[in-house]
């Protein structure tokens, strides 16, 4: 397994993949670690999470540089990602005990009834390369706080990040084997999922990968949480605050070099605002600096791999062939490495690739609509349902439109983002389940009903089983 700098093509490091015996030993170690970790008082688990946050902040430049070199993230954004990982650790260090406390539910007058939230065991996280620290920590922080142990199968192009994350927990004082990185290929994942010692699987990745993992895990009767792709609509109504909207539109499409599931991809603009939006959007996309992701002034770095850029350009070409017009960009840059320019497509047919497929790079498809109703209809005309945003001066109108979106995360006058305090996830082909907040920490737990009878019941109705 090789780590390669996408901006230069330089091989950074070569890693030896573990053998089948190594993976078996890791699963056994995880099972053993769960026995003691699940019994560790939650107050101590919270303390260690806070310590992990301190490790991250102490090493923010080191880990940011690692992301820059392994997957091409602009360095300022990489530092922000490390800081966000520290935030999620702090959040659960503060809130996990409250979120996992017994929930007393009234029932029979002669009984004390409650729900207890208890850990289930080793959980496998299959994670992508585009946010190589954040997407792991938003899984690890709540699950370690809950008393589960983690096994990470990271993307094959960010093995250094995988081992660095394991290092964070080790150096923060977590017991050995409570979090392990398995530098294995996708062909090994099936064996891990099938193993009786594994109790759950979470995946962030493509729709195809999600279907494969969910199908196998379902056959094994194991809980899954899936966060898959997206084709998020960015709806600009006729009364949108234009300067703010344009600023956020550029950020929403090009952050992380455009490689984000929750990036705005389809810009749906009311006819009365269309010309002003397109003119301003194209100008701002043209002004972005594309180049070395280690340079502080770079806005957009390379695509993570050559093949990903080629796939993106193919989508642009097929969209143009279908009738779309390139307003800016549209051709790979003559730079060493897979650099693609910020690109705006207008007059995009609704059956074109840029309208129906997820474009994983800095390519924006702009659509003109006549009214609010058409905007909502087009926003929902997709198999995906991860995020959506609407832009308007009228906040009541914005909230009403947001409630019409078929998506898991809907925003008014803000770009779609994840926040430790709020549940995150999608619907339709964007997956199911939730990460973060109280909802996320309760995904991989046994929600155990406990009934303590104090005296004779008041009714025989509850005695009817099933």
Same domain, 198 and 330: no
- Do 12 and 150 have their domain in common? yes
The C-alpha torsion from 11 through 15 and 17 to 22, rounded to 10°, is -170
Residues 289 and 157 grouped into a single domain: no
- Which residues contact residue 331 at a Cβ distance below 8 angstroms, ignoring those fewer than 6 apart? 313, 341
Same domain? For 274 and 402 the reply is yes
Residue with the two structure tokens 């956020």: 248
Encode pLDDT of 272-290 as tens digits. Answer: 999 999 999 999 999 999 9
Nearest C-alpha neighbor of 438 from the set 154, 142, 229: 142
Please report whether residue 301 resides in a domain. yes
Do 221 and 248 belong to one domain? no
Q: For residues 219 and 451, give the distance between their C-alpha atoms in angstroms, rounded to a whole number.
A: 31
Residue 455: pLDDT band with limits 50, 70, 90: confident
Identify whether 455 is part of a domain. no
Of the residues 89, 161, 261, 409, which is catalytic?
261
Q: Is pLDDT of 346 > 70? A: yes
- Are both 289 and 223 inside the same structural domain? no
Considering the domain boundaries, does residue 305 fall inside one?
Answer: yes
pLDDT digits (tens, 9 = 90+) for 107-130: 999 999 999 999 999 999 999 999
Count up the domains in the chain and report the number.
2
Res 464 pLDDT > 90: no
**b/e map 125-139, b = 16+ CB within 10 Å:** bbbbbbbbbbbbbbb
CA end-to-end span of the chain: 52
Whole-model pTM: value is 0.96
**Listed residue (387, 391, 438, 442) closest to 414, CA to CA:** 391
Q: Does the annotation mark 261 as catalytic?
A: yes
- Same domain? For 167 and 296 the reply is no
In a domain, 465, yes or no: no
Say whether both 220 and 262 belong to one domain.
Answer: no
Say if residues 168 and 86 touch (Cβ distance below 8 Å): no
Q: Are residues 161 and 254 in the same domain?
A: no
Which CATH number is 391's domain given? 3.40.309.10
Q: What is the CATH classification number for the domain harbouring 440?
A: 3.40.605.10
Paired tokens of 376: 């909502």
Looking at the structure, tell me whether residues 21 and 128 fall in a common domain.
Answer: yes
Residues 10 and 156 in one domain: yes
Closest Cα to residue 173, out of 50, 285, 11, 345?
A: 50
- The reply to whether 163 falls in a domain is yes
Residue 461 resides in a domain: no
**pLDDT tens, position by position, 200-232:** 999 999 999 999 999 999 999 999 999 999 999
**pLDDT score, position 459:** 58
Report if residue 299 sits inside a domain.
yes
Half-sphere exposure of 255 (CA within 13 A, CB side): 20
Same structural domain for residues 250 and 345? yes
Evaluate whether residue 420 is within a structural domain.
no
Q: What is the mean pLDDT of residues 21-40?
A: 98
What would the DSSP string read from start to end of 84-95? HHHHHHHHHHHH
- Residue 47 belongs to domain spanning: 2-228+426-450
The beta-strand segments (E) located in 149-283 are: 149-153, 179-181, 200-204, 223-227, 232-236, 264-270
Rounded to whole angstroms, the Cα distance separating 369 from 356 reads 17
**pLDDT value of position 456:** 80
| Percent of the chain scoring above 70 in pLDDT | 98
**Residue from 166, 227, 357, 358 carrying the catalytic annotation:** 227
- pLDDT computed for residue 148 by the predictor: 99
Span 397-401, average pLDDT:
98
The answer to whether 436 and 421 are in contact (CB under 8 A) is yes
Q: Region 460-464: what's the mean pLDDT?
A: 61
Provide the β-strand partners of residue 346.
325
Relative to beta strand 343-346, strand 325-328 is antiparallel
């Amino acid at each position: 397994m090789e780590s390669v700098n996408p901006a230069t093509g330089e091989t950074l490091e070569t890693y030896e993949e573990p053998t089948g015996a190594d993976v078996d030993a890791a699963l056994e170690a995880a099972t053993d670690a769960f026995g003691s970790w699940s019994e560790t008082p939650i107050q101590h688990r919270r303390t260690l999470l806070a310590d992990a946050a301190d490790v991250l902040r102490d090493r923010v430049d080191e880990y940011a540089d690692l992301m820059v070199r392994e997957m091409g993230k602009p360095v300022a954004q990489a530092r922000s990602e490390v800081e966000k990982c520290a935030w999620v650790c702090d959040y659960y260090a503060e809130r996990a005990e409250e979120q996992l406390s017994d929930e007393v539910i009234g029932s029979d007058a002669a009984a004390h009834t409650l729900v207890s939230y208890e850990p289930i065991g080793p959980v496998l996280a299959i994670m992508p390369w585009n946010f190589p620290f954040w997407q792991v920590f938003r899984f690890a922080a709540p699950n370690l706080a809950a008393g589960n142990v983690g096994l990470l199968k990271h993307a094959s192009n960010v093995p250094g990040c995988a081992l660095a994350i394991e290092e964070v927990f080790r150096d923060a004082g977590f017991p050995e084997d409570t979090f392990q990185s398995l530098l294995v290929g996708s062909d090994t994942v099936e064996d891990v999922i099938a193993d009786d010692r594994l109790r759950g699987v979470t995946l962030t990745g493509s729709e195809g990968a999600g279907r494969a993992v969910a199908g196998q895990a379902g056959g094994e009767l194991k809980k899954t949480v899936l966060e898959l792709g997206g084709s998020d609509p960015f709806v600009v109504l006729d009364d949108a605050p234009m300067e703010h909207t344009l600023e956020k539109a550029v950020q929403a499409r090009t952050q992380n070099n455009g490689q984000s599931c929750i990036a705005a991809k389809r810009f749906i603009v009311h006819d009365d605002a269309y010309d002003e939006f397109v003119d301003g959007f194209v100008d701002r996309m043209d002004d972005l600096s594309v180049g070395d992701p280690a340079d502080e002034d770079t806005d957009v770095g390379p695509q993570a791999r050559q093949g990903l850029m080629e796939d993106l350009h193919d989508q642009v070409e097929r969209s143009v062939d279908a009738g779309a017009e390139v307003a800016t960009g549209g051709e790979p840059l003559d730079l060493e490495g897979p650099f693609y320019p910020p690109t705006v497509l207008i007059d995009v047919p609704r059956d074109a690739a840029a309208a129906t497929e997820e474009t994983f790079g800095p390519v924006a498809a702009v659509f003109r609509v006549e009214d609010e109703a058409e905007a909502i209809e087009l926003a929902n005309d997709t198999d995906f349902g991860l995020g959506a945003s609407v832009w308007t001066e009228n906040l009541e109108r914005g909230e009403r439109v947001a409630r019409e979106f078929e998506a898991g995360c809907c925003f008014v006058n803000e770009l779609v983002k994840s926040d430790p305090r709020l549940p995150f996830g999608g619907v339709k082909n964007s997956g199911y389940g939730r990460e973060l907040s109280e909802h996320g920490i309760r995904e991989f737990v046994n929600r155990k009903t406990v009934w303590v009878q104090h005296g004779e019941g008041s009714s025989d109705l509850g005695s009817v089983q099933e």
